[in-house]
């Protein structure tokens, strides 16, 4: 009887695999061949004398990554985990309340440690950090250039009410606040940390100022951050909640955290893109837009100082608003920054921008 049952199971499995293969022949070209996962899929190996002992495992990895309907099967599995069992298929994504997603990769600045205040800066780190920034500021000042430090808050702190209860309340003492208060009390560094402005906007607006399914703020949050930076530079923008400003809805947005869960298509309707209009844009024109490298803009009859921002991805939502207020603006990703580029651009204002969780990386920041 057991032998007969086993034969039936083998035959049934063969029929299922055959049916899937036949279905793939007819409709595979209509399916997405692009991976929904945030990694590179295995490539088909070629047997050689160098890999004869690992070829079978390499081919197995290739087969698993390219099995018919793989994307669809992975998405169904992760959707079941997320919507039924409230589990995350990614170690870097925390499912929050009301479908909010939060970032948890320890190696990328430890967002949870920032939230819980478990990765506080030591007094020595605070001293080293501020001393380093003062050296960079003084170097720029010797050339007649202004220097501003800008820290974008973490999503987990701004929308802490949607964090799962097991993480507790947001800590009252945390690294970004430590640095901000230390720099204000002990140095004359110009530091912009727009936490209060963002909380105010969040409470006054009906729209979200962060994407629910992404690590980043949206264009509304970006406007609030940009306005805080511009205020430090002597330029006043209309308050986001004023009757001068209109917030217009555009398209659905698929967030990076949803993509890590393979649920970007399922969750696209959870987020909307917005645009903020009503301020004086000074006929701003984008000259070059490369999220991984540079944003270059030109405006007309705006501030004649040239602004140069050494940035991370949070500047993407700020750049158009900032650029609209300067005739010349240049935003370079911190990974692409080099001293020669700085010399070529010869700005009047230098802004070093980072998200809160990357604060410790500023210990290695150098202009030259």
Res 67: pLDDT = 52
- How many other CB atoms are found less than 10 A from the CB of residue 99? 16
Please tell me whether residues 125 and 164 are part of one structural domain.
Answer: yes
**Please, which residues have CB within 8 angstroms of residue 36's CB and are 6 or more apart in sequence?**
71, 74, 75, 259, 262, 264, 265
> Is 258 contained in some domain?
no
Characterise 109 by phi-psi region: left (phi > 0), alpha (psi -120 to 50), beta (else).
left
191 closest CA partner among 132, 236, 150:
150
Phi and psi based region of residue 178 (left: phi greater than 0; alpha: psi -120 to 50; beta: remaining): alpha
User: Domain for residue 83, yes or no?
Assistant: no
3-state secondary structure of 211: coil
pLDDT band for position 17 (50/70/90)?
A: very low
My answer on whether 225 and 325 are in the same domain is yes
> Quick check: 15 pLDDT over 80?
no
Position with higher pLDDT, 84 vs 327: 327
pLDDT band for position 108 (cuts 50, 70, 90)? very high
Calculate what percentage of the chain has a pLDDT beyond 70: 78
Report CA dihedral (294, 299, 303, 307) to the nearest 10 degrees: 0
- For 112, the domain range is 95-247+278-364
**Residue 345 is inside which H or E element, if any?**
helix 339-345
DSSP 243: T
Q: Does 226 lie in the same domain as 159?
A: yes
> What is the overall mean pLDDT for the chain?
87
Does the residue 179 lie in any domain?
yes
- The helix-helix angle for 219-232 and 195-204 (nearest 10°) equals 140
Whether 80 is in a domain gets the answer no
Residue 330: its H or E element: strand 326-333
Whether 262 is in a domain gets the answer: no
Same domain for 35 and 171, yes or no, is no
Q: Across residues 40-62, what is the average pLDDT?
A: 64
155 and 58 assigned to the same domain: no
State how far the Cα of 38 lies from the Cα of 108, in Å rounded to an integer: 15
Specify the DSSP class assigned to residue 210.
B
Same domain, 145 and 207: yes
Q: Confidence class of residue 129 from pLDDT cuts 50, 70 and 90?
A: very high
A 10 A CB-CB count for 2 gives: 6
Residue 2 belongs to a domain: no
Q: How many domains does the chain have?
A: 2
Residues 62 and 211 in one domain: no
**Coil vs helix vs strand at 241:** coil
Contacts of 172 (CB under 8 A, 6+ apart): 117
DSSP 87-135: --SSTTEEE-GGG-EEE--GGGT-HHHHHHT-SPPPHHHHHHHHHHHHH
Q: Is 185 in the same domain as 319?
A: yes
Q: What is the CA radius of gyration of the chain?
A: 25
What is the C-alpha to C-alpha distance for residues 238 and 223, in angstroms, rounded to an integer?
10
Same domain, 61 and 103: no
Q: Are residues 63 and 133 in the same domain?
A: no
Average pLDDT over residues 4-26: 51
| The pLDDT value given to residue 262 | 86
> Are residues 50 and 176 both part of a single domain?
no
Summarize pLDDT for 220-251 with one digit per residue, the tens: 999 999 999 999 999 999 999 999 999 999 88
Write the CB contacts of 90 (distance below 8 Å, at least 6 apart in sequence): 260, 261
* Spatial contact of 123 and 175, defined as CB atoms under 8 Å apart: no
User: Residues 51, 134: one domain?
Assistant: no
**First-last CA distance in the chain:** 78
pLDDT at site 85: 62
In a domain, 150, yes or no: yes
Q: Is residue 256 domain-resident? A: no
């Amino acid at each position: 009887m057991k032998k007969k049952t086993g034969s039936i199971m083998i035959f049934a499995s063969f029929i299922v695999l055959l049916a899937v293969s036949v279905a793939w022949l007819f409709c595979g070209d209509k399916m997405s061949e692009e991976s929904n996962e945030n990694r590179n899929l295995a490539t088909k190996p070629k047997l050689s004398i160098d890999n004869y002992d690992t070829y079978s495992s390499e081919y197995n990895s290739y087969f698993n990554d390219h099995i018919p309907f793989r994307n669809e099967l992975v998405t169904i599995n992760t959707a079941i985990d997320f919507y039924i069992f409230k589990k995350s298929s990614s170690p870097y994504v925390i499912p929050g309340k009301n479908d909010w997603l939060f970032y948890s990769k320890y190696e990328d600045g430890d967002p949870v440690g920032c939230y819980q205040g478990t990765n506080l800066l030591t007094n020595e780190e605070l001293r080293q950090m501020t001393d380093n920034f003062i050296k960079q500021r003084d170097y720029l000042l010797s050339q007649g250039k202004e220097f501003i430090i800008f820290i974008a808050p973490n999503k987990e702190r701004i929308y802490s009410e949607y964090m799962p209860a097991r993480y507790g309340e947001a800590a009252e003492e945390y690294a970004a606040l430590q640095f901000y208060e230390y720099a204000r009390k002990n140095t004359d560094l110009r530091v912009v940390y727009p936490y209060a402005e963002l909380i105010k906007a969040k409470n006054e607006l009906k729209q979200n100022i962060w994407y629910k399914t992404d690590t980043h703020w949206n264009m509304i949050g970006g406007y609030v951050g940009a306005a805080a930076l511009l205020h430090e530079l002597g330029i006043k923008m209309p308050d986001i909640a004023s009757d001068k400003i209109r917030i217009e809805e555009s398209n659905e947005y698929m967030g990076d955290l949803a993509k890590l869960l393979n649920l970007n298509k399922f969750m696209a309707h959870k987020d909307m893109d917005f645009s903020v209009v009503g301020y004086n844009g000074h006929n701003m024109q984008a000259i070059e837009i490369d999220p991984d490298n540079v944003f270059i803009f030109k405006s007309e009859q705006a501030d004649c100082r040239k602004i140069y921002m050494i940035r991370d991805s949070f500047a993407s939502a700020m750049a158009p608003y900032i650029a609209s207020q300067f005739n010349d603006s240049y935003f370079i990703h911190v990974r692409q920054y080099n001293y020669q580029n700085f010399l070529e651009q010869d700005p009047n204002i230098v802004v070093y921008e980072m998200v809160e969780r990357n604060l410790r990386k500023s210990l290695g920041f150098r202009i030259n």
